[in-house]
Structures are given as structure tokens and as C-alpha cells.
Amino acid sequence: MKVFLIGANGQIGKHLVKLLQDSQKHTLKAMVRSEEQAAALKESGVDAVVANLEGSVDELAAAMNGCDAVIFSAGSGGKTGPDKTLLVDLDGAVKSMEAAEKVGANRYVIVSAVQAHNRDSWKDSPIKPYMVAKHYADRMLTASNLNYTIVRPGGLLNEPGTENVKVAEDLEAGTIPREDVAKTVIATLDNENTFKRSFDLMSGESVIDKALKSL
């Protein structure tokens, strides 16, 4: 598949770029927000395009055209306010879904957040606007015509991945290296057991492929 990666310059996104560059099964088209970011990616041999999640669906569709799959790993970041969370993590995500439908990029994998499907789990959360945005973006994805997978990782770590994870519809809070999130996302792309599914993801005892087969 030719994969359109939204959020290529993010912390998980950078792992995804490397994994897709090294992949024997998939090719990469990376979306970033600035010409400077795109130039850096192009220098390392990545097909990169500049587009903005706050732009139009048509602009996103033009950038995405020719791709078979979309990975959404973008985020407004912890330093912005609820307004940017609404514009990027919710509206931007939904616009990318509409663009994917428009160009026929039917496979769509989104990086969400642990327990985003469960309102009770984040009613007292300090990042409640972010969780609300993730909740409704995920709901819009399940209501779309796309062949989706929703990956809901726990607390994100920058330590090296172990490739040992735990997945389930509902998991207690835990942590996982960003590298393992990226490897799990790539593994879902052509794994039929993850089609039209959503799951929480933590560090665990099972190798990634085996864990996904347990869903």
C-alpha cells in the first residue's frame, strides 16, 4: 500500500517514517506543516508534501491523492490550548477522513488515546478537551465508510521499544514506548483481524503480531 502519513514530524510520526521507509510491503508519502520540515524529509529520501489540517478537505485530498491508506498520528501538542485541540485533533482528523473517502484511500488507521471511548475514564482528566476530541474523532471514523482501525495507546514513553505489547477492547491505564506504538500501527495496516476494530494498547508480554491475533 502507498501510505499517507499525517503527523510525520511528530514523536510517533518520526518512528512511523523510519518503519515505512524500511518496509518491503508499503511506500510512504509524508504530510508535514512546513516547507522546512518537508525539505528535511526529502533530504532523507522521503516523499513529503506540505498541507495543513486547518485547511480545506479539498487541499487535504489533493495532497493525499494516489494513496491507498492513511495513518493519522498528528496532534496539536500539549503546549496549545483547547481551541487548537478542537481544530486539529477533532476537526482536522475528520477532514482527513472525508479527504480519504474522496480519493479512495479506504484503509485508515488513527492513533487515539487509551480509554477515549469511555467517557467515565476521563471525566476528571487534566487533558479532558483532548480526550473529548479523540472520543468524537473516533466516533466519526467508525461512522464513516472507511476500513478503519483505532489504536488507543496508554502513556507514551521515549524509551526503546520492546515489541512486546498487550491489546484489548478495554485495558487498565499503563504505558508504552512510542516506538512500539508505531510498530503496532504498521502491523495493523494489512492485518484483517484489526479491520473495523478499536483497541487499547500497552506494553505487555506478547509480540505484536500475536497480540493482534488475540483481538
Active-site positions read: 130
Rounded Cα distance, 57 and 70, in Å: 14
Q: Give 144-205 as a DSSP string.
A: SSSEEEEEEE-EEE-SPP-SEEEEESS--S-EEEHHHHHHHHHHHTT-GGGTTEEEEEEE-S
Rounded Cα distance, 208 and 175, in Å: 15
Q: Which three cell numbers stand for residue 67?
A: 494513496
Q: Which three cell numbers stand for residue 197?
A: 476494530
Rounded Cα distance, 131 and 137, in Å: 10
